[in-house]
Amino acid sequence: MDTEKKTPISTLGEFGLIRHLTESIKLENASSKYGIGDDCAVLEYPDKQVLVTTDLLMEGVHFDLTYVPLKHLGYKAVMVNLSDIYAMNGTPRQITVSLAISKRFGVEDMEELYAGMRLACEAHHVDIVGGDTTSSLTGLAISITAIGDAAKDQVVYRNGAHETDLICVSGNLGAAYMGLQLLEREKNVFMGESDGVQPDFAGKEYLLERQLKPEARRDIISALADAGIRPTAMMDISDGLSSELMHICKQSGTGCRVYEEHIPLDYQTAVMAEEFNMNVSTCALNGGEDYELLFTVPLTDYDKVSKLKDVRLIGHITKPELGCMLITRDGGEMELKAQGWQALTE
């Protein structure tokens, strides 16, 4: 955040701030009958299932404004919600935005935050239809609710995986986690807590982008539909591949086998892991915040799914008594453990 003089939010008041940030928003979804400006938004969804998800982001827990620009934060806050709608095989249509704001933020700061939110919404054709603002004594809190839809026979849950189903992931894993490690290291350099290492982001732009500006995978949902593939189970990778796989297996009453050699990794992720003396597979399995899609498909869809761009087959679903196992590069077996992000810690 910059230190130049800012317009106090109190000069606009709660409703004035909302009006200032949202007065130019135009609705583009037919299901958005009425947006910001009344006691409630009005939505209409004939003949479809309605999908609703909420994420709460707290300063100091989910983001650090020492190195997270407000515009990027707004973009990411929206994307993590849209990703949940895509993970149900749905299409996001609307969001509501609620903010708790401390006195150190000015109107210009909120303009930056909303600029990122609107950029994300425009990219995915999503309407901002409401929300709330209040004061905070501890920092910034962002709560976004996303609303979407899907045909009744197309909604995909976590509990639909079956024995012999193929396990697939989009994109690559671990880059967002390595981006976070990089940012934390450079923060320590900036704060004078680390000696001998100079701030350096050169050649590491991809890792930073994966952490600061993640992209919800609407393209994968479209590709699956175009290929005539309906996943049997699906979720997005927010807490780490291991955790998400175990969620699917637990809710589906199955086990799984995942092959370490097939887990997709980016070159920059591997280089950064080596620099931090970390095991790159561990980073991919447990890092989180990739917001890629993890899904299972019937074995009969092998030919179709293997042709999809940016989708990788990493394993298969097994009987529950076989457990959730990682097959290592040397052929050994290791039990998967949920070591990713924990929302509630002591």
CA end-to-end span of the chain, whole Å?
30
Q: Which residue has the higher pLDDT, 275 or 11?
A: 275
Q: Is 92 helix (H, G, I), strand (E, B) or coil?
A: strand
Lowest pLDDT segment from 17-31, 309-323, 327-341: 17-31
Task: Please say whether the beta carbons of 100 and 78 come within 8 A.
Answer: no
Which residues, in sequence order, are bridge partners of residue 150? 49
215-245 pLDDT tens trace: 999 999 999 999 999 999 999 999 999 999 9
Q: Among candidates 298, 336, 334, which has minimal Cα distance to 316?
A: 298
The whole-number average pLDDT for the span 21-32 is 78
Q: What is the pLDDT of residue 138?
A: 87
Q: What is the pLDDT of residue 317?
A: 98
Domains of the chain in sequence order: 9-150 (3.30.1330.10), 166-335 (3.90.650.10)
117-141 pLDDT tens trace: 999 999 999 999 988 999 999 899 9
Confidence grade of residue 340 (pLDDT, cut at 50, 70, 90): low
Task: Please say whether the beta carbons of 323 and 335 come within 8 A.
Answer: yes
Q: What percentage of the chain has pLDDT greater than the value 90?
A: 76
Range among 7-16, 31-40, 115-124 rated most confident:
115-124
Q: Which residue has the higher pLDDT, 15 or 324?
A: 324
The whole-number average pLDDT for the span 197-218 is 88
What is the 3-state composition of the chain as percent helix, strand, coil, each rounded to the nearest 5? Answer: 35, 25, 40
Confidence grade of residue 71 (pLDDT, cut at 50, 70, 90): very high
Confidence grade of residue 11 (pLDDT, cut at 50, 70, 90): confident
Confidence grade of residue 19 (pLDDT, cut at 50, 70, 90): confident
Q: What is the pLDDT of residue 10?
A: 79
Task: Please say whether the beta carbons of 343 and 196 come within 8 A.
Answer: no
In this predicted structure, the answer to whether residue 344 has a pLDDT above a threshold of 60 is no
Q: What is the pLDDT of residue 346?
A: 43
Strand ranges in the chain using DSSP code E only, listed in sequence order: 32-34, 42-43, 49-58, 91-101, 127-135, 141-150, 166-170, 233-236, 255-259, 293-297, 311-318, 324-327, 333-335
Q: Which residue has the higher pLDDT, 6 or 95?
A: 95
In this predicted structure, the answer to whether residue 297 has a pLDDT above a threshold of 80 is yes
In this predicted structure, the answer to whether residue 338 has a pLDDT above a threshold of 90 is no
Helix axes 267-275, 205-212, angle to 10 degrees: 100
Report pTM.
0.89
- For residue 1, the tally of other CB atoms under 10 A from its CB is 15
Q: What is the pLDDT of residue 17?
A: 76
Q: What percentage of the chain has pLDDT greater than the value 70?
A: 91
Tell me the backbone φ, ψ of residue 299, rounded to 5 degrees: -55, -30
Q: What is the dihedral of CA 202, 122, 50, 216, to 10 degrees?
A: -20
How far is Cα 179 from Cα 217, in angstroms, rounded to an integer? Answer: 19
The mean of the pLDDT values for the chain is 90
Q: Which residue has the higher pLDDT, 36 or 49?
A: 49
The whole-number average pLDDT for the span 286-312 is 97
How far is Cα 198 from Cα 216, in angstroms, rounded to an integer? Answer: 33
**Following DSSP, what letter does each residue of 7-58 receive, concatenated?**
-BGGGTHHHHHHHHHHTT-----TTEEE-BTBSS-EE--TTSEEEEEEEEEE
Q: Which residue has the higher pLDDT, 276 or 195?
A: 276
Confidence grade of residue 46 (pLDDT, cut at 50, 70, 90): confident
